[in-house]
Structure 1
Amino acid sequence: MSSSLKIQQQQNLVLKTDLRMTLQMRQSIEMLLKNQFELREMILEEVSENPFLEVEDWGDDIQEEPVTQHGEESEAADTKSSDVTVPLQINDNSADMSSILADFDWEQIRETSSNNFGETNLKKSNDIPNDFNFENTVPAEESFAQSLDFQISVSSYPESMKDVLIYMAYNLDARGFLADSDEDIAIQIATDVETVAEAREILKNFEPLGCGCRNFPEYLRFIFIEHGSVDIPEKFEKSVHRLFSDETMLDLLVKKNFDALCGSLGITQQELTELLLFFRSGVASPYPTFGYEQERTEYVRADLMVFMREGEPVIYIDDKMLPTVILKTELFEDNMKNVKNRSEKHFIREKYKNAEWIIKSVSDRNRTLYQVAASIFSHQKAFLEHGDKFLKPLTLKDVSDDIGRHIATVSRLTNGKYAQTPHGIFELKYFFVKQVNDNLTTNKRLEQKIVEIIEGESRENPYSDDDIAHILSKEGIEVARRTVAKYRSKMNIPLARERKRNYQFEVGGQTCAK
């Protein structure tokens, strides 16, 4: 039995056990994920629905002020909020693979399919009943990462595996791909590579299918071969399996070298045409998260402020905009005295318990956020004092161990939460930095140096990856050529020969762009 089939069978039991998580479990996760704006809305919604909650103080009004983010010099250190458009970055080095389906109108499939992912003809996975609509369980405004988080949380996998899965869910790119190597992920959360590899296979089987694939070719192999979710006509089976099992053939398809592809597959031009029409018929989504918006408007307001005082970081949780809510205990006691019906008493008691839980959970959320931030900046003091170039290696496991909480909790709290620092506003997960060699060089520092070197290169003879590695070595940064290639590619900087060609067509002497 294949590993993919075993995982699917496990998922059958996992999702059938409790697909609809309890309200309180969902609220617990949502509370960790929400920023200040979202948490305010959540609290006010609870107040409107629960008679035992009362707003004592409505908190500060939402201010919309400009703010500088991600390391740019902040012009107003005490800036409180902003209204900015944040495009979701798509770092997909195989984006040109979509030319496979270039002529297909995906919008048409989106409008006519039974769900948001163009899966009209996909078999239902995980033995979910045909009439079950997953979107009834997951609110439409949730991100795909939240959707995955909720599914992972109700699963029966061990907590250690859930930690890995949730970390992965919040590190997917906008298309649902996870390009990070299993080795890098293992280092970040202090586990073994085998566990990460297993987690990646598990993640692919949650909805939407294929999340966690490294790239488009791997996604196609998973959808068409490994998962078995696509009904492939018998006449195409052999060609499909050969095509998606061979990188060389996929490359021929991307380059539209149809003559060579026909020869490799042993089929005629007519048969290839029919095969391409099959791919374009809506049998699968073009990428895992197809159907989710790729750009959205976000309010970015610092959830906390941090600065140095007498050589130590000082953390201030900015909760001024959150309403202060109190329990209406007397109303509860009066209701319990006056109501005689047992079911009504139970309803009242549950409402009151939920009101207590909301107040306690907001307090716990802010306390844990403080603990996470305190741990992060105790490791990153040099950044607070001197800036971006002085970030030190730091993993989620380091912070998890510091505060005694699950890695999943740290993942959720650092996702979408921002800190106002002396050097600008940064998302908290920005401070988790990889070590790339034995000299404590970080991935962010290496990326900065690669960009600096390329920006200063000759336009006639751009530096190769070997050249860059040699220059870095002279500056005391020992890394292999393949490491340079990895981070250059991650930043979407072309190869030397491609940069040379780009320079020849540049107008106005602009420097190379990432």
Structure 2
Amino acid sequence: MIGQRLEIRQGQGLVITPQLQQAIKLLQLSNLELEEFVEAELERNPLLQRDEPEGEGPEAPVSVSDAAPDGEMSFGDGVGQDSVASMDAGSDDVYGDAAPGERTSDRMTDEAQPGLSDWSSAGKGGQVFEGDGERPDAHELTLWEHLQAQASSAGLSAADHAIALTLIDATDEGGYLRGEMAEFADRLGVSLDRIEAVVAVCQGFEPTGIMARSVPECLKLQLIERNRFDPAMGALLDHLDLLARRDLAGLKKICGVDGEDLAEMIAELKALTPRPGAGFGGEPAQTVVPDVHVRPDPAGGWRVELNADTLPRLLIDKRYHGLVQAGARSDTEKTFVAECAAQASWLVKSLDQRAKTILKVSSEIVRQQDAFLAFGVEFLRPLNLKTVADAIGMHESTVSRVTSNKYVSTPRGVFELKFFFTAAIQSVDGASTHSAEAVRHRIKTMIDGEGVGGDVLSDDRIVEILKEAGIDIARRTVAKYREALRIPSSVERRRMLKTG
């Protein structure tokens, strides 16, 4: 019988609120992206402001975020997982399975991070003028500005000057002209011959070799300027692939020269510049600023610290909040003030939990890979997201977000957190595994030592040596690792050793 009735059912479900979505988004942002996000929030929310040290005092705004209260963690003898777990005591996990409860909180934290080395102060050089010292506002001339200035003084017609500017815009940072000439001709509505004529003019600009369309053409322009281009050199430029393979016998036959002449021609090529535009300013390179520092602990083990320079320090101005709240008259104004206060409180809480989560994940990675830090890449252990997630009681997706675009500085260099997650290669006895990164390093070390003994190892021989060391690996895997390391085959390496 079909009918209607009212039923009450109880169930559990995860509600992804906008605040929780924001917390998840913050977790996967890099420190540069986080800085941009915080700047936008500071402009949008009048109750938020940065923590300025000179503003501290009895009447200063109350700090609601100064990174994770536990700003560092040590790993040494007798330090176990309890130290990691205690970090979250008394703090709600905004990345947990439950939706957040109350969004407003009066619990304030005002603990400063321990002093860390400033890894973000790497200077960017500008132009220096004699007698004036450094000019902070000096502008480093870019390659495109340099070429545009030469095009303006090249005596070109208005139409040819416009063509030249279009071609300059299509020139990459290395100084090479990218794109099909026929496409330029079709887009600009001119003949291909006219495009080629303007290209010839532009290729006369400084530095020599600029706006070439290939490496051989770039080298040819430089040789012509030095009056060193002849048919033999042209044949050599046409067969640079043989030079890369060190096939000197084939080059001597093609170029029609003897060994001494070929050696001189190769020496001349080595004196040229394959990237003529590399000496000019371009887009400023972003320096990698680590999110976490790992340092030796005097008591033994490793000390893991958050980089305070990458953590936003935000305040909620409670006095201003009280003023605007008291002055609000309409329901719209009161709603706006309440939303700003709630969003500011949630943002601060999310930033605080983000810092704690990064510290927790990084600390577990350090604990798992302490042998790498102590002894080198050969001791890098196989590690996956699930292992770390299970150890710290988090979901794999959370660990994945934490390790994306996050960097850690160690005594062995700066690495992305994802570097420490490597595939496992089975041992011969099947009882243990080896890190793929460690195996790659072992292969590179064996090949680097070939010149000493004069013996060149084939991929099959490398497989045999690794199996003798207890590593079960296929020949095609060795070839894949060798190619990823940009190491030539044994045949090419043997030829390179013979030619010196």
- Which one has the largest radius of gyration? 2
Q: What TM-score does the superposition give when structure 1 sets the normalisation length?
A: 0.46
Q: What TM-score does the superposition give when structure 2 sets the normalisation length?
A: 0.47
